[in-house]
A and B are shown apart, each in its own frame.
Chain A
Amino acid sequence: MNFLKILVRNLVHGPSTVPFPFGPAWTPERLRGRIVFKLDSCTACRACEQVCAPGAIRFDKTPDGLRFMMWHNTCVFCGLCEFYCPTDAIRQSDDWHMAHATADQFTMAIREVIPYVSCTACGAKALASSPNPVGITPPFTPEEIEQQRNLCPGCRKKALAERGAAS
């Protein structure tokens, strides 16, 4: 007669349905949802492209710079890119409202270009990516990051050597 107890309990306690399509939905704190890309922090190390299992992240060389492309309709939300990103430039938000009409499916992508600049020290063409902070002590200050961004790889090394820390 256990099932009768369950039926009566359900009837007395009322439905346990969440109000979702008609009301707000609860979202777990650490839900791995929509990818957020912060162009300013990207070091162009391309680690995310390497670890992305379904190949949702791609870097292309374009005349303007290095283009970061990511399509949510291929992403499996595994979180590897977030894990391997040295600067938290790629992050997963807890936004899961991603159902969309097929006509809009290519708006579900992130396309950002890391532009080329000419190095402020030597004038060579260089990517304006954020410097890699791994192993840098003391850590970069924001001014230093801006300074490094406008240098070519060779001049970055030089600047780091002058700073007195091993790169």
Chain B
Amino acid sequence: MLEMLTTPIAALLFPGGLFALAFGLALKGLDRRLAARLQGRVGPPLAQPLFDLVKLARKRTMVPDIAAEPVFLGAPLIGAVSMLLCAALVPIPGVYTPDTMLGDLLVLLYLLTLPAVVLMIAGSASGSPFGAIGFSREMALMLAYEGPLVLVVVAVAMRTGLGQGDLISFSLSEIIAYQQTHGAFLFDPVMWPALLAFLAFYPANLGIVPFDIPEAETEVLEGPLLEYSGPALGLFKVMSALKAVVVLGLGVALFYPLAPDGALGLLVHLAKLTGMMLIGITVVRLSCGRMRIDQAFSFFLKWPLALSLLSLAIVALA
């Protein structure tokens, strides 16, 4: 009986669902607060993302006349649900290991592309020209960053697999177990190029400066989100909060999963995610300007792709 409940609980309550949402909102609040402090401002209260969500839930959703209504309203729902599932797939070292029935690294990779796809669909379904621009930019950016991401993951998987005597291992639990016995990949010089590539992938996937080109407020007025209002926009906020937790959790699992067991392990995990959010995202987004889409495209095809290929080659040859 209890075993039957573990999966729904994982998806709705503890590692995914409510817990991930609350933590994601807290991360966003911290991010805004620290950003304000770094700019010499006081900044909003820590719970500001929660206030925004409650506010959006109480507003009216307007559907433009020319929008394809079912797609327009369904897209944010699909995005939020996919991220809810994703959050249940990310392990917390020492605390939570996802059921392999649910899926593993490969499923996670596929699900991670969904928010970008959902944004594209939303942008084109809204019928707004800004949405269409956002659509094309999102697509170009996604083409650029998905390649390096897959190569990074393959490099990590190969390193684990070769260390264990197989060729490759796409199991997150095996990757974590390997690092816990052989030391984290963070301190493994062979993996450093892959790590750098992954660091560039973070802001691109989360839609944050310097890679917030599809949703650039000052250029295309938040692109795909332009026509959304009320609860539908709130679902997009939920999606992006969950996505932050998922992507940061994936990074921790791939590169630095060392943590003690039990409640302390959970705290260490949360501290790692928070640190990564603040250093890897907040400081980066404040110290960079936004790239143009062609600059971002060539950047990703130059540096992260080369670095991840380099890492893969070293892993394969070593």
Residues of chain A having any CB pair with chain B under 8 Å: 3-4, 7, 10-11, 13-17
In the bound complex, residues from chain B placing their C-beta under 8 Å from that of A10 are 37-40
In the bound complex, residues from chain A placing their C-beta under 8 Å from that of B36 are 15
In the bound complex, residues from chain B placing their C-beta under 8 Å from that of A7 are 38, 283, 286-287
Q: Which of A4, A13, A14, A15 contacts B287 (CB 8 A)?
A: A4
B42 at the A interface (CB under 8 A):
yes
In the bound complex, residues from chain A placing their C-beta under 8 Å from that of B287 are 3-4, 7
| Contact size range, B | 10 to 19
Give the complex CA separation of A4 and B286 in angstroms: 10
Output the least CB separation between B289 and chain A (Å). 10
Taking a contact as CB atoms under 8 Å apart, the answer to whether A11 and B41 are in contact is no
User: Sorted from nearest, which 6 A-B pairs have the closest CB atoms?
Assistant: A10-B40, A15-B42, A7-B38, A17-B42, A16-B40, A3-B287
Nearest CB to that of B37 among chain A residues?
A11
In the bound complex, residues from chain B placing their C-beta under 8 Å from that of A4 are 287
Prevailing SS type, chain B contact patch: helix
Best-surrounded residue of A4, A10, A14 (most CB of chain B within 10 A): A10
A-B contact count (CB 8 A): 25
B275-294 to A contact mask, C-beta < 8 Å, 1/0: 00000000100110000000
Residues of chain B having any CB pair with chain A under 8 Å: 36-43, 283, 286-287
Nearest CB to that of B40 among chain A residues?
A10
In the bound complex, residues from chain A placing their C-beta under 8 Å from that of B37 are 10-11, 14-15
Give the complex CA separation of A155 and B286 in angstroms: 75
Give the complex CA separation of A13 and B39 in angstroms: 11
Give the complex CA separation of A10 and B287 in angstroms: 13
Q: List 10 A-B contacts (CB under 8 A).
A: A7-B38, A7-B283, A7-B286, A7-B287, A10-B38, A10-B40, A14-B37, A15-B40, A15-B42, A16-B40
Give the complex CA separation of A14 and B37 in angstroms: 7
In the bound complex, residues from chain B placing their C-beta under 8 Å from that of A17 are 40-42
Taking a contact as CB atoms under 8 Å apart, the answer to whether A11 and B42 are in contact is no
Give the complex CA separation of A14 and B38 in angstroms: 9
In the bound complex, residues from chain A placing their C-beta under 8 Å from that of B42 are 15, 17
Give the complex CA separation of A14 and B283 in angstroms: 16
